[in-house]
Amino acid sequence: DAKTTQPPSMDCAEGRAANLPCNHSTISGNEYVYWYRQIHSQGPQYIIHGLKNNETNEMASLIITEDRKSSTLILPHATLRDTAVYYCIAWPWEGSSNTGKLIFGQGTTLQVKP
């Protein structure tokens, strides 16, 4: 599975967009980019995933570069409740089975400040 690299921590002002980068320069063609977050002492929560197209849902947007070597998770209007550790994971998914293990790195600790 491709290794991902994220900054250990970031700050964001409440109400502003939070842009969390992730580098996955060795990602394989069948590996999707998944984002999860973990709010203090809770289980990780799925946010969004994508293969090569940009994706948006009610929680966030995911921008993947054309060469797929990096991506950015965007929280458009960060709130204090978005303070959490955000994990970027490259995971092979063939559409019918999990072909690998979902491995969490150290993630980015996002602190949203009033």
Partner 1 sequence: DAGVIQSPRHEVTEMGQEVTLRCKPISGHNSLFWYRQTMMRGLELLIYFNNNVPIDDSGMPEDRFSAKMPNASFSTLKIQPSEPRDSAVYFCASSMDSVGYTGELFFGEGSRLTVL
Dihedral (C-alpha) 40, 84, 109, 55: value to the nearest 10 degrees? 150
- Complex with partner 1: residue 7 or 15, whichever CB lies closer: 7
The binding track of 74-103 with respect to partner 1, each residue x by CB under 8 A or -, is: -------------x---x-x-xxxx--xxx
Residue 81, phi then psi, degrees to nearest 5: -70, -10
- At closest approach, how far in Å is the CB of 36 from partner 1? 8
Of all helices (H) and strands (E), which one includes residue 113?
A: strand 108-113
The binding track of 42-81 with respect to partner 1, each residue x by CB under 8 A or -, is: xxxxx--x--------------------------------
Token couple for 67: 């060469």
108-113 vs 9-13, strand pairing mode: parallel
- At closest approach, how far in Å is the CB of 6 from partner 1? 12
- ∠ Cα 53 93 18 (to 5°): 45
What is the binding site for partner 1 (CB under 8 A)? 32, 34, 36, 38, 41-46, 49, 87, 91, 93, 95-98, 101-107
